Amino acid sequence: MITLITNIKELLQVRETSVSKVSGAEMAVLPTIRNAFLILEDDLIADFGEMKNLPEIKADQVMDATGKIVLPAWCDSHTHIVYAGNREQEFVDRINGLSYEEIANRGGGILNSALTLNAASEEEIYEQSKLRLEEVMHLGTGAVEIKSGYGLTTEGELKMLRVIKKLAENYPIAIKATFLGAHAFPVQYKENKAGYIDEIITRMLPEIAKNKLAAYIDVFCETGYFSVEETEKIMAAGIQYGLIPKIHVNQFNSIGGIQAGIKFKALSVDHLEVMSPDDIKALKDTETMPVALPSCSYFLSIPYTPAREMIKAGLPLALATDFNPGSTPSGNMNFVVATACIKMKMTPEEAINAATINGAYAMGLSETHGSITKGKKANLILTKPISSYYQIPYAFGSNLIERVFLEGKILA
Ligand code: NIG
Ligand code: FE
């Protein structure tokens, strides 16, 4: 099946030769073609160029994109889309003065979601989670990472990972699964932290590896959660089982988690709301992608990742949603891109690079996703008629998406 899109006002993120990520000053460069055509063959990008060079082809489907912009679908490298229930009561509690930390300390937060998840059946969790996945696909997301971490029991964690696997089988979107058993210490292990880490290492990891349920291992490395030493122990065990680390660090405190991630060759270090000059320095010239989650900063009213300082230091940066019931009940990458521009002072070019090619890198998908490159997946956003791509962050509350293409097909 050949689809031809003609008269595209501007085709964004065009990379003749694929790059794996963009860093520092390169992030300000977003290669585009004005008045472009794009040819899709089945699920892949087959060709593109200026309209004046449009080859003679017989297309099965022709779409005229006059006045509209086409860009690669968003690559959301950090989500917790699979969960049960919600935490709207905690949201109201925070409005009334309690902090996220205070709520967690009285048994709410992640432990609250774990209670709900363990009480729900695998089918119920699947039914609830698939609605969120469908929602983000319609918001233009074409590849997504999903974590476990609300089970905190061997059974609960495996249940979540099986739901992620089922979603990956049933939807035309690339899904990467991450094992986050080390999200919080369950109540029964409050006084026996080593016991829970032992359960992760000796019970959960072997089952996950045996059933190929995850590609990545995550740890919430934070004061009151997992120490740097515990994080290292869990990452090392995950690596033994073939999982690559991608970790939650520096959300509230800078305690050395970034350095630990780099030491264990983490694919990404995520959150980074609190960054010391040493943290920024440590990331320089590494293969570890820093990932910012501005919707989490927005929802919790915590600092935003210091993007300007990081980009000035030559680092790459990816943007993701963190979609989860506690700190970010939103999976809208358009809002993430807008918030990165508005609150983190990223330029539209930097934010789009961060939400496409760098997001793909943070999921190990930059060979197939994140740019308009021949042979990559035909995962695209076609906008409504807009004056320029600046509208994407500028009109932050508007839905500017007319169509989403996933694997070459228009999403109904
Ligand atoms: O990325 N920080 C740790 N984990 C999640 C939130 C977990 C929750 O509150 O449910 C996050 O923000
Ligand atoms: Fe998270």
Select from 112, 322, 324 the residue to mutate for testing ligand 1; criterion: most ligand atoms less than 8 Å from CB: 324
Tell me the CA–centroid distance for residue 228 and ligand 1, in Å: 18
Give the ligand 1 atom nearest the CA of 296: 12
Distances, alpha carbon 264 to alpha carbons 217, 238, 243, 252, in Å:
11, 10, 11, 22
Select from 77, 80, 222, 270 the residue to mutate for testing ligand 1; criterion: most ligand atoms less than 8 Å from CB: 80
Residue 18 in this model has a pLDDT that exceeds 90: no
Rounded to whole angstroms, the Cα distance separating 250 from 283 reads 13
Report the pocket of ligand 1 as residue ranges, CB < 6 Å: 109-110, 113, 220, 248, 251, 296, 322, 324-327
How large is the average pLDDT for residues 296-319?
Answer: 98
pLDDT digits (tens, 9 = 90+) for 173-223: 999 999 999 999 999 999 999 999 999 999 999 999 999 999 999 999 999
pLDDT digits (tens, 9 = 90+) for 319-363: 999 999 999 999 999 999 999 999 999 999 999 999 999 999 999
pLDDT digits (tens, 9 = 90+) for 248-281: 999 999 999 999 999 999 999 999 999 999 999 9
Nearest residue (by CA) to ligand 1, atom 1, is: 322
Rounded to whole angstroms, the Cα distance separating 388 from 32 reads 12
Please give the pLDDT value at position 315: 98
Cα angle 326-182-369, degrees, rounded to a multiple of 5: 75
Structure tokens at 57: 């082809």
Rounded to whole angstroms, the Cα distance separating 185 from 199 reads 11
Nearest residue (by CA) to ligand 1, atom 5, is: 327
pLDDT digits (tens, 9 = 90+) for 311-329: 999 999 999 999 999 999 9
Please give the pLDDT value at position 282: 98
- Name the percent of the chain lying above pLDDT 70: 100
Rounded to whole angstroms, the Cα distance separating 248 from 266 reads 11
Q: Which residues surround ligand 2, an ion (CB under 5 A)?
A: 322
Please give the pLDDT value at position 392: 98
- Name all domains of the chain by residue range, CATH numbers in brackets: 2-72+371-410 (2.30.40.10), 75-361 (3.20.20.140)
Residue 92 in this model has a pLDDT that exceeds 90: yes
DSSP letter assigned to residue 14: B
Please give the pLDDT value at position 232: 98
